[in-house]
Structure 1
Amino acid sequence: MDLLACVGLTILESVALIPGRELGYLYAVKRFLVVLLLQYASLKLYRIIVYPRFFSPLRHLPGPKDHNLIFGQEVMKFRAENPVSVQLQWMQRWPKAPFIRYLSFAGREVLLVNSLAAHKAVLQTHVYDFVKPPFFARLVGEITGVGLLFAEGEAHKRERRLLAGPFSVPSMRKLLPVFQTKAKDLSDVFEKILGDKSFATLEAVETFSKSTMDTIGVTVLGIELDTLSSMYPLSFQELYRRVLHQDYLGSLISVINSFIPIRNIAPFEANRRFIQATTDLRSMLRDIIEQRAVDLADGTFQRKIGESRDLLTYMLEEAELRRKETGKEVWSTDDIIGHLLNFTSAGHESTAATLAWSLYILATNHSVQDRLRSEISTLLKETPDPDYDTISTLPYLHNFIREVLRLLPPSHMIQREATQDLTIENVRIPSGTQIDLAIPLIQQNPSVWGADAAVFDPDRWETPTTSSASPFAFEAFLQGPRMCPGRNFAVVLVKAALVELVPRWRFVGIESGGGVGGKLLEGGEERVGRGVRFANPSLTLRPRGELCVRFERMG
């Protein structure tokens, strides 16, 4: 846009300022290019350096001042210990500020939402006055698809209503047996690894990634993926791993592509692998959709009475029903692919990370582990095969999961862009301003959660303070109209896994490497940031590399 404006202005100036006598063609072209270059450079100099530092209405807000002239704070964020550690440092410096301002690439101003009132305004009061910025759509959309995640305004409201059924409480009651079956399969993996040894080591990240993908296969796609036992190198789960868990170069390409579109020209193997994996994923999903539509039409796709429909079957049946009623197509095949990518990537990656962090907490906090085991074991003695309502009566299990999600939320960053001029908490926000919601900031803010905000304590949920009782103090699934529709799905899946695993296995600690005989991390080395590190950059808050958990069979 800036370049087009400069071209237009240069043309006008050339016409107005050229003397009446004819000039040579070459001279005219040179003059045009020189003027265009000078004007474009001047405009960029103003936008990148002058405006944000001397004229922006946001320049007086609290925030870091050590900006790189070109990259702002992006290099610091990219090199940080985890994807939000730099933002957490800012929050600790200005814990009560409604917004923290910093500069991003090319002098772009960003407001980091910091206070409860500001969170409520962005997520509820003015929720549809913000949209996802184009760079965020490029960064995330090519991985998770478009679907509900990128729907805006009335389209978002309509899509959310249409997709509410599969994630309702009645549907969760029907899905719990599926979760329990997959949890037993997961426990069998522990059994196979341990064998006749007294203890063994399990790599939690990959194990839970495969397990949750199997569950997603049944509940979202309606098929058995069998990735826990699959030996095929390009299984559905492996393709997703290539997309979501890129190496350093692949992650760097994705970040650069979000600002400068280089995806189709970057001549690197990491880029080619990413493009091929996303292409294959979409092809797989298209084949599954087309075959399911045929099976539903001729009656060959059957499910047991009382079973909940998987998401794909639900969408195809609802689309056909509404087409007959209104004569209009609700979802095209590409629309359905977008929704399936949304829910598969979100449900798979975030739930796997939550389970991995849950095992980490249990292995490094034995008193919490013992208390959780006692609660679950007491229930199982009375009700060996608990249903949805019975599992929901376990308060410590519920609080444990909430506390894991508070300190280690898988989805750590949401980005928006103002579509109009707004005033929030006495801060005037110009149209086009980027807004960042770093979820750990509000969930670890001492002015909201108290001085022990960084301490893992499930009991804090029993006696919340006025501020921590606010729904906007806990945003692991967001809040307001854009709250994650699959939140119950994720929580029930994690509960089913822990109810199966915790009574059967004791998690001893974290090892420095895989396999029996790895060094058990002790004396603080097991803490996150030391022996266990975060992946960065990463769309989810997950361990970097392996998370090796030593475990043994309960007596």
Structure 2
Amino acid sequence: MVVLEVSFAAAASSVVRWILMLGGLMAAAALLWQAGRLLRLLWWQPRRLERALRAQGVRGTSYRFPAGDLKEYGRLAKEAWSKPLPLRCHDTAPRVAPFLHRLVLEHGRTSMSWFGPSPKVTIVDPELAKDVLSNKFGHFEKLKVPALSKMLGSGVASHEGEKWVKHRRILNPAFHLEKLKRMLPAFSACCEELVNRWAAESLGSDGSCELDVWPELQNLTGDVISRTAFSSSYREGRRIFQLQAEQASLVMTNIRKIMMIPGYMYLPTANNRKMRRNNREVESILREIIGKRIQAMERGEGTKDDMLGLLLETNMRDDMGMTIEDVIEECKVFYFAGMETTSVLLTWTMVVLSMHPEWQDRAREEVTALFGRDDKPEYDGLSRLKVVTMVLYEVLRLYPPATSVVRQTYKEMEVGGVTYPAGVILELPVLLIHHDPDIWGGDAREFRPDRFSDGVSRASKDPGAFLPFGWGPRICIGQNFALLEAKMALCMILQRFEFRLAPSYTHAPHTVITLHPMHGAQLKLRAI
């Protein structure tokens, strides 16, 4: 019996050793597989893609393991952002995008750099940019970072294929002309609250006040998107705007680490925990708003004529509508993009008109000729604005909210005589295209709204060179909404105020997803 027990123990010990050995071999194999995968992603694939592009004459920087040009990108940005621009200087590219500006100067209008281990080809030619944005062959996708999309909103702007088609089809009616006309009273009410508040603050001996209009205009556009998308006041949505703005800042702070370190978003860093808390709070607020609306609809209350009502009504009558999670993600995008684009446009418009008072006077003369000093602008009058429209277009040209548009190949694709393998990022630098003297003439970096006097198509040598809202089937769905809102706000401001730069203003545009004034937009407003 003792012998049997000893033999059994020995056998069991041997089995345990074999199990441990097998486990060790499996762990080693997993580590080797992961190491091989990283070696392929961070070394062999970049080298293969670099050879393929250089063989076709694409010039640019060489791949540097493992971060590519991200370190140099950060160094140049830090250096450029430390120096403000002279007032009335609109040559913003060297400060806003110093790496891209230098890359194109050194390597040409189609040039290669490295976003981590991924080759990024920058294309300045607007005709080639339109080929990419038209997506006529379906081989260009939005550059996706799923964890980031989840933090800021994964809506129609980031979807592909059938999901994009479905969401775009559902959302399109909300931006039809007749819908936009019905939004004008909400635009007008929000703008009236703003100018009345500014007038109340203009109590100095000369009827003037100094104000940072950047947060003021963010509040305005936040109020507008709340009322038109969710029929709620700005106060109900204020927390969402604060959280989404903070999310954008946190994303930009961490973008290099997120792109370079696999799984970085899931590490328990202070910033990552903050982003997850913010996202949970945003989703909780939106879920509550949506839940209340669904309950009201189930009680038989009428559907409100806003974007949320449109989405939910479609869901109730169409089994192929969006899920509640889809609706929440679209709402997150509404809140961020709906506020951001127009507030950026209005802020730079007020800054630039402060630098060029002669154009401010011309715009005011047109507004008062159409609406007087007190009448609220209405659609027919807004549609007849010529000077104001030229001013807004020129500001969008010089200070586009999105300074670049990025796509990625998922299979081999030819553009402009170059065959791009799968996995290449194509960057269309809107800011550089908008500032290119070869396209816009020798005064490309000057504020000259009259270049748009005969419309967008005749403003430059290339009719497709004006890209503030993108191009092709994925052109910004809210562009008409943004322009109509901007016209309404600018008209009502011009009716009530003259404005110029305050002594404390520093001209320092920089990117935080969109093009922001780094130190605010301090203006001196005088009631008229």
- Category of TM-score, reference length = shorter chain: 0.7 to 0.9
- Which deviates further from its counterpart, 235-244 or 208-217? 235-244
Contact conserved, 2:47 with 2:63, CA < 8 A, in 1? no
2:163 maps to: 155
Corresponding letter in the other structure for 2:67? F
How has the CA–CA distance of structure 1 residues 329 and 505 changed in structure 2, closer, same or farther, with 3 Å as cutoff? same
**Identity across aligned pairs (percent)?**
22
Asked if 2 retains the 8 angstrom alpha-carbon contact of 1:63 and 1:90, the reply is: no
Q: State the SS of the aligned residue for 1:360.
A: helix
Contact kept, 8 Å, 1:58 with 1:429, in 2: the verdict is no
SS at match of 1:271: helix
Task: Work out which of the residue numbers 103, 121, 139 in structure 2 matches 1:129.
Answer: 139
What letter corresponds to residue 314 of structure 1 in structure 2? L
Local SS of the residue matching 1:367: helix
Structure 2: distance between partners of 1:188 and 1:375: 22
Partner of 2:244: 240
TM score, norm. by length of structure 1: 0.80
Report the AA paired with residue 98 of structure 2.
Answer: S
Instruction: Tell me which of 87, 100, 105 is aligned to 2:116.
Output: 105
Deviations 1:165-202 (A, max 9, x none): 11111111111111111111111221233224422111
- Say which of 378, 391, 400 aligns to 1:387: 378
| TM-score, L = length of structure 2 | 0.84
Quote how far apart the aligned CAs of 1:338 are. 1.4
Task: For 1:36-435, list aligned pairs within 5 A.
Answer: 43=40, 46-47=43-44, 50-51=47-48, 55-58=51-54, 61-65=57-61, 68-79=64-75, 80=77, 81=80, 84-92=97-105, 97=109, 99-106=110-117, 108-126=118-136, 128-135=138-145, 137-139=146-148, 141-198=149-206, 199-226=208-235, 235-246=239-250, 251-259=252-260, 260-268=262-270, 270-300=271-301, 309-322=305-318, 328-381=319-372, 384-435=375-426
- How far does residue 422 in structure 1 lie from its aligned partner after superposition? 1.2
- Distance in 1 of aligned mates of 2:387 and 2:459: 21
Q: Once the 2 structures are TM-superposed, how far is the Cα of residue 542 of structure 1 from its aligned partner?
A: 0.9
Alpha-carbon distance between aligned partners in 2 of 1:162 and 1:45, rounded to the nearest angstrom: 41
Q: 1:465 to 1:474 in 2, by over 3 A?
A: closer
Residue among 454, 468, 489 paired with 2:460: 468
Q: Give the letter for the 1:299 counterpart.
A: G
Kindly provide the amino acid, as one letter, of the partner of residue 101 in structure 1: M
Q: Give 1:441's aligned residue.
A: 432
Structure 2 Cα separation of the partners of residues 382 and 511 of structure 1: 28
Displacement of 1:343 in angstroms is 2.1
Which residue of 510, 518, 541 corresponds with 2:515?
A: 541
- Root mean square deviation of aligned Cα: 2.9
Count, aligned residues: 488
In the alignment, the residues of structure 2 paired with residue 467 and residue 91 of structure 1 have an alpha-carbon distance, to the nearest angstrom, of 23
Structure 2 alignment gaps of length 5 or more: 1-20, 81-94
Decide whether the 8 Å contact of 2:68 with 2:116 is kept in 1.
yes
For 2:15, the equivalent position in structure 1 comes to none
Question: What is the letter of the counterpart of residue 268 of structure 2?
Answer: A
Query: Amino acid of the residue matched to residue 365 of structure 1?
Result: H
Are the aligned partners of 1:407 and 1:454 in contact in 2 as well (CA < 8 Å)?
A: yes
- Answer whether contact 2:188 2:376 (CA < 8 A) is retained: no
Structure 2 CA distance for aligned equivalents of residues 56 and 149 of structure 1: 31
Q: 1:254 Cα deviation (Å)?
A: 4.1
Rounded to whole Å, the distance in 2 between the matches of 1:467 and 1:496 is: 24
Per the TM alignment, residue 365 of structure 1 is displaced from its structure 2 partner at its CA by: 1.2
Task: Give 2:84's aligned residue.
Answer: none
- Unaligned residue ranges in structure 1 (runs of 5+): 1-23, 304-308, 323-327, 513-520, 522-530
**Per-residue Cα deviation, 1:271-306 (whole angstroms, up to 9, x for no partner):** 333221111111111111111011122134575xxx
The answer as to whether partners of 2:141 and 2:160 remain within 8 angstroms in 1 is yes
CA distance in 1 between counterparts of 2:135 and 2:35 reads: 44
SS in 2 for 1:285: helix
Paired residues of 2:42 and 2:65 also in contact (CA < 8 A):
no
Distance (whole Å) between structure 2 residues aligned to residue 157 and residue 38 of structure 1: 39
Structure 1 residues 61 and 275: alpha-carbon distance in aligned structure 2, compared to 1, 3 A threshold: farther
2:448 aligned with 1:457? yes
CA 1:365–1:94: 2 relative to 1, 3 Å: farther
Deviation at 1:535, TM superposition (A): 3.5
Match of 2:493 among 501, 512, 515: 501
Task: Give the counterpart letter for 1:318 in structure 2.
Answer: T
Say if 1:375 and 1:394, in contact at 8 Å, map to a contact too: yes
Check 1:541–1:458 CA distance in 2 against 1; reply closer, same or farther (3 A cut): same
1:492 Cα deviation after fit: 0.4
